[in-house]
Structure 1
Amino acid sequence: MTQTLAINGVMLHYRLEGPSHLPLLVFSNSLGTDLRVWEPLLPLLANHFRFLRYDKRGHGLSACPPAPYHIDDHINDLIGLLDALQLDQVALCGLSVGGIIAQGVASRRPELVKQLILCDTAHKIGPAQGWDDRINSIRGQGIEVIADAVMERWFAAEFRRQQPVELALWRNMLVRTPMEGYIGTCAAIRDADLTDSSARLTQPTLCLVGDQDGATPPELVRSTAELIPNSRFAIIDNAGHLPCVEQPAALAALITDFIGQRTAPPNRFDLGMAVRRSVLGHAHVDRANANKSVFDEPFQTFITEGAWGSVWSRPGLSKRDRSLLTIALMASLGHEEELAMHIRATRNTGASKAEVQETLLHLAVYAGVPASNTAFRIAKEVYNELENQEEQ
Structure 2
Amino acid sequence: MAFVTANGIEMHYRVEGRTGVPRLVFLNSLGSDLRIWAEVVEHLHDRFEILLVDKRGHGLSEATPAPYSIPILADDLTALLDALGWARVSVVGLSIGGLIAQHVAIHAPERVESLVLMDTAARIGDAPAWNERIATVTDAGVAAISEAVAARWFSDGFAAAHPARFAAWRAMLEGTPCEGYAGACAAVRDADYRGDAARIGAPVLALAGDADKATPPDLVKATADLIPGARFALVVGAGHLPCLERPAEVAALIAGHVTQSGEAASRFDAGMAVRREVLGGAHVERATQAITPFDAPFQRFITEGAWGSVWSRPHFTRRERSIVTIALLAALGQDEEFGLHVRATANTGASGEDITEALMHVAVYAGVPAANHAIKIAKTILAEREDTVR
TM-score normalised by structure 1 residue count: 0.66
- Secondary structure of residue in 1 paired with 2:31: coil
- Secondary structure of residue in 2 paired with 1:166: helix
1-side partners of 2:83 and 2:111: how far apart? 12
1-side partners of 2:204 and 2:67: how far apart? 30
Shift of 1:3: 1.4
Instruction: Show structure 2 runs of 5+ residues with no match.
Output: 265-390
Shift of 1:251: 0.5
Shift of 1:24: 0.7
Shift of 1:47: 2.0
- 2:94: which partner in 1? 95
- Which one-letter code corresponds to 2:144 in the other structure? V
Contact 2:18 2:45 in 1 (8 A): no
**Is 1:64 aligned with 2:67?**
no
- 1:30: which partner in 2? 29
Shift of 1:7: 1.3
- 1:17: which partner in 2? 16
- Which one-letter code corresponds to 1:130 in the other structure? A
What percent identity do the matched residue pairs reach? 49
1:307-340 CA distance string (max 9 Å, x none): xxxxxxxxxxxxxxxxxxxxxxxxxxxxxxxxxx
- Which one-letter code corresponds to 1:257 in the other structure? G
- 2:385: which partner in 1? none
2-side partners of 1:70 and 1:46: how far apart? 31
- Which one-letter code corresponds to 1:132 in the other structure? N
- Secondary structure of residue in 2 paired with 1:263: helix
1-side partners of 2:61 and 2:259: how far apart? 32
Contact 2:19 2:48 in 1 (8 A): no
2-side partners of 1:110 and 1:102: how far apart? 10
- Which one-letter code corresponds to 1:6 in the other structure? T
2-side partners of 1:28 and 1:255: how far apart? 13
Contact 1:206 1:231 in 2 (8 A): yes
1-side partners of 2:236 and 2:159: how far apart? 15
2-side partners of 1:201 and 1:261: how far apart? 17
- Which one-letter code corresponds to 1:215 in the other structure? A
2-side partners of 1:88 and 1:244: how far apart? 26
1:256-308 CA distance string (max 9 Å, x none): 1212223349xxxxxxxxxxxxxxxxxxxxxxxxxxxxxxxxxxxxxxxxxxx
2-side partners of 1:261 and 1:71: how far apart? 28
- 1:167: which partner in 2? 166
When the two chains are superposed, the root-mean-square deviation of aligned CA atoms in Å is 1.2
Listed as ranges, the matches of 1:103-182 within 5 Å are: 103-182=102-181
Contact 1:203 1:230 in 2 (8 A): no
- 1:372: which partner in 2? none
- 1:377: which partner in 2? none
2-side partners of 1:158 and 1:22: how far apart? 39
Contact 1:25 1:50 in 2 (8 A): yes
- Secondary structure of residue in 2 paired with 1:88: coil
Shift of 1:158: 2.7
- How many residue pairs get aligned? The number is 264
- 1:86: which partner in 2? 85
Shift of 1:89: 2.4
1-side partners of 2:255 and 2:174: how far apart? 33
1:338-364 CA distance string (max 9 Å, x none): xxxxxxxxxxxxxxxxxxxxxxxxxxx
- Runs (4 or more) in structure 1 with deviation over 6 Å come to none
**Is 1:188 aligned with 2:177?**
no
1-side partners of 2:229 and 2:157: how far apart? 34
- Secondary structure of residue in 2 paired with 1:240: coil
- 2:253: which partner in 1? 254
Shift of 1:30: 0.5
Listed as ranges, the matches of 1:226-265 within 5 Å are: 226-264=225-263
- Which one-letter code corresponds to 1:37 in the other structure? I
- 2:347: which partner in 1? none
- Which one-letter code corresponds to 1:249 in the other structure? A
Contact 2:88 2:110 in 1 (8 A): yes
Contact 1:68 1:188 in 2 (8 A): yes
TM-score normalised by structure 2 residue count: 0.66
Instruction: Show structure 1 runs of 5+ residues with no match.
Output: 266-392
2-side partners of 1:152 and 1:63: how far apart? 27
- Secondary structure of residue in 1 paired with 2:77: helix
